[in-house]
Chain A
Amino acid sequence: MPVSLTSLKEYFAPKDEAELLALLETYHGSALIVAGGSFVHGLDARGLLLGVEALIDIRNLGLKHVTLDADGLSIGAMVTFTELQQLEEVRNSAALGAVRDALKYPPLQIRNVATVGGNIAAACPYFDLPTAFMSLDAVVKVHGPDGQRDLDLQEMMVGLFQNALEPNELVASLFLPRLPARSASAFMKLETNANDLAIVNVAVRISLDTAGSCQEARVAIGGGVAETPVRAMAAERVLQGKKISEALVQQAGAAAQSDLRPMSDHRATGAYRSAMAKTLTERALRQALGRL
């Protein structure tokens, strides 16, 4: 007998959004939307699918678009990591360097199925892309019976494996706003092996003004430093408005560390995570600066 998920009674594959919304209404919280499906067993293993009676597979809904315009890049929820990796912007732009870096870590078998929407909706603090997206001010486009609403990632990820969706809503797409011209980002992850979740991961983004000073800085840290990935505001304040030097990079690393009270678990102690958050912040900053 299969060992997991045997309490599931139904598997639906609605043909359009109206049918999906009707199913969500019917099941009212006892259905789980499945995108790529690569983390459903992971959620089950953590005891997070008790009471889930139906899986709703959204692969027939489309949600595969990628559009770039003057405002930014819109990515459909069902775009896989492999597809994201092949995008011209992701492969070449300095601004999206953090996304490119984050996609190097998951193995091929995960990249081929895992989706942008699923990765966000899972609200897993140990995932890589949400940290990268947070450094890029990503906006989550949520669809529901009343139309569309926008959430930034901090609003979307409200707790450990808890997202801000109502039971009758879905993640439809992700929007990455166009950044100032001189922008670069980078992402780094510390992991015990190539197929494990992050001990700590860090994404940084620097946007320079015409004078070469830091106009905008983002430092996002994930991987069990908190119940969700978080912005290291103290580190961002260190960088904001300054000419960035090696001394400032180290100050930002120390500031990032001072902001955190990481958890201890089987992957690492809180103290180790804290020390590594500092190191990775510094390294990611150097990486991003090298791309400017």
Chain B
Amino acid sequence: MSKLVTFEINGQQHEIAVEPYETLLWVLRKQSHLKGTKRGCDSGGCGCCTVHVDGKAVYSCMTFANSLEGCKVTTIEGLSQGSELDPLQTAFVEEGAVQCGYCTCGIIMTAKELLASGQALDEEQIRHGIAGNLCRCTGYTKIVKAIKKAADSR
């Protein structure tokens, strides 16, 4: 039986009817048409569906929509301020840290939490920090470089 759930997506309040089995990923892509969040493995193994719930990076493919009552969800679409990109997004563009792009949004959302603490990050901490995100094109070098650049320029 579907239920109404009220939660914020990128600062906007939504009241959405969801089925017991529906996930946040499903709601974002099919109901809210926010396609930046990608569906990959659908089982919490690849990380391309990563979004923030109340400031914490989670796999949206495993987050039941019903569990979100009163929560604040942030997706990749919620990072930029108007036409001004988030410093992480800018760093990914400048470093060319994107090949096919499928993993990019998830990695940026994970990195966003890593950077949130304000602590300095070395390469090893960045690599360990994004261990829950797979990239099958780049070999991670430029991704790590872009995150380091954004971290260092905070």
Q: Do A and B bind each other?
A: yes
Chain A positions within 8 Å of B, measured between CB atoms, are 2-11, 13, 34, 37-38, 40-42, 45, 54-55, 57, 59, 82, 104, 106-110, 112-113, 194-195
A-B interface, 9 closest residue pairs, ranked by CB to CB distance from nearest: A107-B132, A194-B131, A11-B20, A5-B21, A11-B66, A8-B20, A112-B56, A8-B21, A109-B132
Chain B positions within 8 Å of A, measured between CB atoms, are 1, 3, 19-23, 26, 42-47, 50, 56-59, 61-64, 66-67, 69, 110, 113-114, 128-129, 131-134
Q: List 21 A-B contacts (CB under 8 A).
A: A2-B23, A5-B21, A8-B20, A9-B20, A11-B20, A13-B66, A34-B64, A38-B59, A38-B62, A40-B64, A41-B44, A42-B44, A54-B20, A57-B64, A104-B128, A107-B47, A108-B113, A109-B58, A113-B59, A113-B62, A194-B131
Chain B residues near A55 (CB, 8 Å)?
A: 20, 64, 66
Q: Quick check: A37 and B62 within 8 Å, CB to CB?
A: yes
Q: Which of B19, B22, B23, B58 contacts A112 (CB 8 A)?
A: B58
B62 to chain A minimum Cβ distance, whole angstroms, is 6
Q: A8-B20, A41-B44 are in contact. Are A112 and B57 (CB under 8 A)?
A: yes
Alpha-carbon separation in the docked complex, A195 to B110 (Å): 14
- Nearest residue (CB) in A for B44 is A38
Alpha-carbon separation in the docked complex, A13 to B1 (Å): 14
Alpha-carbon separation in the docked complex, A37 to B20 (Å): 13
Alpha-carbon separation in the docked complex, A45 to B45 (Å): 13
Alpha-carbon separation in the docked complex, A102 to B89 (Å): 32
Q: Quick check: B22 and A2 within 8 Å, CB to CB?
A: yes
- Nearest residue (CB) in A for B25 is A2
Chain A residues near B43 (CB, 8 Å)?
A: 41-42, 45
B79 to chain A minimum Cβ distance, whole angstroms, is 17
Q: Quick check: B132 and A110 within 8 Å, CB to CB?
A: yes
Chain A residues near B66 (CB, 8 Å)?
A: 11, 13, 55, 57
A169 to chain B minimum Cβ distance, whole angstroms, is 22
Q: Which of A10, A38, A42, A104 contacts B20 (CB 8 A)?
A: A10
A192 to chain B minimum Cβ distance, whole angstroms, is 12
Majority secondary structure of chain A interface residues (helix, strand, loop or mixed): loop
Q: A108-B110, A195-B45 are in contact. Are A9 and B57 (CB under 8 A)?
A: no
Chain A residues near B134 (CB, 8 Å)?
A: 195
B140 to chain A minimum Cβ distance, whole angstroms, is 12
Alpha-carbon separation in the docked complex, A41 to B46 (Å): 14
Alpha-carbon separation in the docked complex, A109 to B58 (Å): 4
Q: Quick check: B64 and A113 within 8 Å, CB to CB?
A: no
A66 to chain B minimum Cβ distance, whole angstroms, is 18
Q: A4-B42, A5-B21, A42-B43 are in contact. Are A11 and B3 (CB under 8 A)?
A: yes
Alpha-carbon separation in the docked complex, A55 to B66 (Å): 10
Alpha-carbon separation in the docked complex, A4 to B21 (Å): 7
Q: Quick check: B26 and A2 within 8 Å, CB to CB?
A: yes
Chain A residues near B129 (CB, 8 Å)?
A: 108
Q: Which of B42, B63, B64 contacts A11 (CB 8 A)?
A: B64
Q: Quick check: B67 and A13 within 8 Å, CB to CB?
A: yes
Chain A residues near B21 (CB, 8 Å)?
A: 2, 4-8
Alpha-carbon separation in the docked complex, A165 to B33 (Å): 41
Q: Quick check: A108 and B132 within 8 Å, CB to CB?
A: yes
A86 to chain B minimum Cβ distance, whole angstroms, is 11
Chain B residues near A5 (CB, 8 Å)?
A: 20-21
Alpha-carbon separation in the docked complex, A106 to B23 (Å): 21
- Nearest residue (CB) in A for B21 is A5
Q: A13-B66, A13-B69, A34-B64 are in contact. Are A109 and B22 (CB under 8 A)?
A: no
Which of A11, A106, A195 gathers most chain B CB within 10 Å?
A: A11
Alpha-carbon separation in the docked complex, A92 to B20 (Å): 41
Chain A residues near B63 (CB, 8 Å)?
A: 37, 113
Which of B50, B114, B132 gathers most chain A CB within 10 Å?
A: B132
